[in-house]
Amino acid sequence: MYIGVHVSIAGSLLDALDRAKALKCNALQIFSRNPRQWRQLEIKDAEAKEFGEKRRKYNIERVVVHIPYLINLASPYKVLYKKSITAYIEDLKEADKLGAEFLVTHMGSHAKTSELAGIDRFSSALNTIFNDTKGIKTRLLLENTSGSGSWLGYKFVHHRMIYNRVKQPERLGVCLDTAHAFTAGYDLKTEVGFNSMINEIDELIGIDSVKVVHFNDSKKDFSSHIDQHENIGKGKIGMSALQRVIKHPKLKNATFILETPKVNKDDDEANLTITRKMAK
């Protein structure tokens, strides 16, 4: 199984690999850029090469890159929309240069226009982006959200609508965030609720398209539409429900990434230990 954690890129990208190795991970997630800045990483060829070598040496089998929230491909504001398209093209190229398997993205905010208009803008932007990044292997994964404000992607029919509008849907996949699904109104806490979500994804997009699971407990209640992650087993989803997710036979090839709070120094280690035990 591929189990890892979101690690910081402070210092350098190579430091991120060291952080993952220290935690004995065979997968990791990093941000494509500082979450509060537009400036890109600009990975040099030598650095990308070193990253690849070190990653193989450390047996990091899955590298997931995450696009920060600031970037919004569903935006009705022309300047932000154009800037976001440029940023995606850069990030997709850089993720590919690093040899990352997946680039995870939120589906943007329609900013009080309409969901349909947001989905249309998002999809048309993706067509531009894919057209500009032909031959790139890194797959773009659409992450579900908790459904706060005007954010798209709190139900999987939004993913389906994007798949329908994109000319190269084979370059897409799904990132399933457990905390987001739970707060969006998928009752993962019960077996019935979990199975019905899995069936919904399967019917709409195909369960095989779930390439990454953001494995998080939730600080907030079911259907609260508030996105706040909690340590594994300590939140409103809880241990047995999360175990059902990680033990699901149809998710066994997915990469499980923890985005749990990092308050104490050993939080990552504690969460990873519990997760690995659950997965056994």
Residue 180 CB, shortest distance to Zn ion, in Å, is 6
Residue located via tokens 């079911």 = 222
Name the H helices within 133-238.
156-165, 178-184, 191-204
Are 270 and 228 a contacting pair, CB within 8 Å?
no
Query: What is d(CA 53, CA 46) in angstroms, rounded to the nearest whole number?
Result: 11
Residue 132 CB, shortest distance to Zn ion, in Å, is 26
Residue 6 CB, shortest distance to Zn ion, in Å, is 8
Question: By Cβ distance, which residue is nearest to Zn ion?
Answer: 214
Are 28 and 212 a contacting pair, CB within 8 Å?
no
Question: Could you say which DSSP state residue 221 is in?
Answer: P
Nearer to Zn ion by Cβ, of 52 and 261: the residue is: 261
Return the H-helix or E-strand segment holding 173.
Answer: strand 172-177
Interface with Zn ion: number of residues (CB under 5 A): 2
The piece of 153-161, 172-180, 217-225, 260-268 that touches Zn ion (CB under 5 A) is 172-180
Residue 257 CB, shortest distance to Zn ion, in Å, is 8
Pairing of strands 217-218, 229-230: antiparallel
How far, CA to CA in Å, does 78 sit from each of 71, 129, 250?
13, 16, 40
Token code pair at residue 28: 């990791």
Residue 210 CB, shortest distance to Zn ion, in Å, is 13
Site string for Zn ion, 64-83 (x = CB under 5 A): --------------------
Q: Tell me if 177 contacts Zn ion by CB under 5 A.
A: yes
State which of positions 194-253 bind Zn ion (CB under 5 A): 214
Nearer to Zn ion by Cβ, of 136 and 179: the residue is: 179
Residue 241 CB, shortest distance to Zn ion, in Å, is 17
Closest CA to 138 of 66, 85, 84: 66
Nearer to Zn ion by Cβ, of 33 and 214: the residue is: 214
Pairing of strands 139-143, 102-105: parallel
State which of positions 115-144 bind Zn ion (CB under 5 A): none
Nearer to Zn ion by Cβ, of 211 and 214: the residue is: 214
Are 51 and 279 a contacting pair, CB within 8 Å?
no
* Beta-ladder partners of 6: 29
The piece of 42-50, 76-84, 144-152, 171-179 that touches Zn ion (CB under 5 A) is 171-179
Active site residues: 36, 66, 69, 106, 143, 177, 180, 214, 227, 229, 259
Query: What is d(CA 279, CA 192) in angstroms, rounded to the nearest whole number?
Result: 20
Nearer to Zn ion by Cβ, of 177 and 217: the residue is: 177
Residues that bind Zn ion in the complex, under the rule CB under 5 A: 177, 214
